[in-house]
Structure 1
């Protein structure tokens, strides 16, 4: 009888141990699926406690907010994709003339004079805390579309408020103004810059 009780106790301990291991794995998997900024916060909170996988309201709040934001992004991207397919790239381009568009670029360091002799394409990303400005200058034989730049911004937490391009001499100037969609989650500036580089310099 004592042996049976002992075996039962061991089994319960084993089950509890396996449950904790499984919960720990699930917690780390959750942290790996959310943004680097959010997962860093979660990891810091977890590492301060020996029981890293103890359910935390703040951890699940971050995850829930991130999931909701992702759903909104996906819905918005699907809507924009349908609009682009139906109406073409002109649906997301401002109706400003090339002259007025180029006047906005003159405030940038990427002016036509400064670009004389420069190797194209060129990329500039200005992080303005709650806003971001992306300027891309290419030759006439660019290998990407404006909507591809916009998609990268939208996928990483930015909401595009205007997108323009203008052809000046043998160069095409693209300017995209965006703002932070969710101030709580912020914008992945480094990730955006890296993805834009991959696209522009491909």
Structure 2
């Protein structure tokens, strides 16, 4: 009988311990869910959660908000692609040559820098001979002393960035320089095509 009572006491103690453990686990789960819901609430715009008190309302608003954000992302991607196309078409003056089916790029951009000018040139496709030496000659003729020249090949095109010093910037005719550089690039294309 004493053994039977001891067994009942042990079983009751084990059940009580299991209940306490379950309660503690449930309490931790609720605390964790409460922290997560508070974090979700803080991530949502105030106008979406105004007046809504339950966690399920906040979760529903979060789902709607995610859909709105996805739509905004899609719209921004479309806008970005349009802007990229606009930028590419405005930076690149294309000409179709009779001997070639593709477009040939011509782009000269001249900017003032302290003590001189920086000239950015897209001289054409990489498989063509670049008229860089002719362009350097033109710069020297116009009174520009070349300080640096960086050439890069991107998307099959050759780009040059030339920095030059100019003793007297008031004597440098930028429009004339641009015309000469454009003409040299166009001439080199015609020679290549012919």
Give the TM-score taking structure 2 as reference length: 0.40
Higher relative contact order (CA 8 A, sep 6+): 1
Higher gyration radius (CA): 2
Higher fraction of strand? 2
Higher fraction of helix? 2
Give the TM-score taking structure 1 as reference length: 0.38
